[in-house]
Amino acid sequence: MAYQADKNRYQEMEYKRCGRSGLKLPAVSLGLWHNFGSYDNYENSRKMCETAFDLGITHFDLANNYGPEYGSAERNFGTILKHSLGVYRDEMIISTKAGYDMWEGPYGDGGSRKYLMASIDQSLLRMGLSYVDIFYHHRPDPETPLEETMGALADIVKSGKALYVGISNYDGVQLKKAEQLLTEMHCPFIINQNKYSILDRTIEKNGLKETAPKLGLGIIAFSPLAQGLLTDKYLHGIPQGSRIQKNSPYLTASSLTPEMLQKISALNDMARERGESLAQMALNWILKDDALTSVLIGASSPAQIIENTTKIKRHAFTEEELQKIDRIVF
């Protein structure tokens, strides 16, 4: 049977304007970093995307090297669009990125015009699209003049291959420089993508969280669940199929120190007192701030997406609760 989206998909999800732009993003967006590549079960990947859309998640976030293998998440997503979600393309926000290692040789990563122009063409080909809604530079590149990188982003928009641009993993100082250049180029720069969670407050320390709203820019947080630490899955050991069990380079067994487990356990107890799962509380903690436009969740099953999309509301913490979270973490 052909997929038909849930008729009630827009009733529960909240949508927030991205900075001063006209674009709205769902409070929860789906990231295809893990579990959508060539080594993963395609039918599960398809079902996760359909489940997300049925819940009002209109934003799907990729990058050129997501997989593994590099490019395979975009290829699989392109197949999902062709056979399932593509009829709803005008109801979707699709983003991709370039900046990290992608192919061999000196032109396969970084921020050069050569790399970015080739990358957007490859990404569109893999996904079967004529444009993406947001194209990001994935990381600062100290070896390339910022003017060159931002100029390439501006020209990608002018060519019609992207509607908006964003930057990822930049700090507050770098953001100011990028914003000035893109404004001079009349390029619709609307968003920053950065790691942020209860356990990782880097954007509060490097000026990004304070600077972005002053410039009228949105922020979307990735790794809001700290690669799974901010869930209850590791409270009683390392479960089969988890990222640690799969030897993920982004989360290792050494992360589960007695001190970390004590923090997770205390946060989990607090979440239960609030009538939430730890994952739900961790997402709500990010969305309490007006500066944050959306959170990017990853998932390995449709059930995870359902859990992490329900009970997600902004401004749901008392000052006492926020202070308690900080006492637990710090």
Q: Is the confidence at residue 254, as pLDDT, over 90?
A: no
> How far is 257 from 143, CA to CA, in rounded Å?
37
Q: Is the dihedral of CA 193, 311, 240, 69 positive or negative?
A: negative
Please state, for a pLDDT cut of 70, what percent of the chain lies above it. 94
> How far is 18 from 64, CA to CA, in rounded Å?
23
In the 8-state DSSP scheme, what is residue 252?
-
> How far is 179 from 208, CA to CA, in rounded Å?
12
| pLDDT score, position 259 | 94
Strand partners, 165: 135, 189
The pTM (predicted TM-score) of the whole model is 0.95
Residue 207: partners with Cβ closer than 8 Å, 6 or more residues away:
171, 172, 173, 175
> How far is 294 from 25, CA to CA, in rounded Å?
7
Give the other-Cβ count within 10 Å of 259's Cβ: 8
Q: Is the confidence at residue 263, as pLDDT, over 90?
A: yes
pLDDT digits (tens, 9 = 90+) for 22-67: 999 999 999 999 999 999 999 999 999 999 999 999 999 999 999 9
pLDDT digits (tens, 9 = 90+) for 177-203: 999 999 999 999 999 999 999 999 999
In the 8-state DSSP scheme, what is residue 4?
-
Q: Is the confidence at residue 68, as pLDDT, over 60?
A: yes
| pLDDT score, position 311 | 81
Q: What b/e sequence results for 205-215 when a residue is b if at least 16 CB atoms lie within 10 Å of its CB, and e otherwise?
A: ebebbebbbeb
The three-class DSSP label of residue 15 is: strand
Mean pLDDT for the stretch of residues 111-135: 98
Q: How confident is the model at residue 283 (pLDDT cuts 50, 70, 90)?
A: very high
| pLDDT score, position 244 | 62
Per the CB < 8 A criterion, the answer to whether 59 and 93 are in contact is yes
Q: What is the DSSP string of 32-48?
A: -SSSSSTTS-HHHHHHH
pLDDT digits (tens, 9 = 90+) for 196-251: 999 999 999 999 999 999 999 999 999 999 988 999 988 876 666 656 656 566 66
Tell me whether the omega of the peptide bond preceding residue 69 falls within 30 degrees of 0, making it cis. Answer: yes
pLDDT digits (tens, 9 = 90+) for 141-162: 999 999 999 999 999 999 999 9
Q: What is the DSSP string of 67-80?
A: TTTTTHHHHHHHHH
Locate all alpha helices (DSSP H) within the chain, ordered by sequence. Answer: 42-54, 72-83, 113-127, 146-158, 172-184, 202-205, 208-214, 258-273, 278-287, 302-309, 319-329
> How far is 168 from 181, CA to CA, in rounded Å?
16
| pLDDT score, position 281 | 96
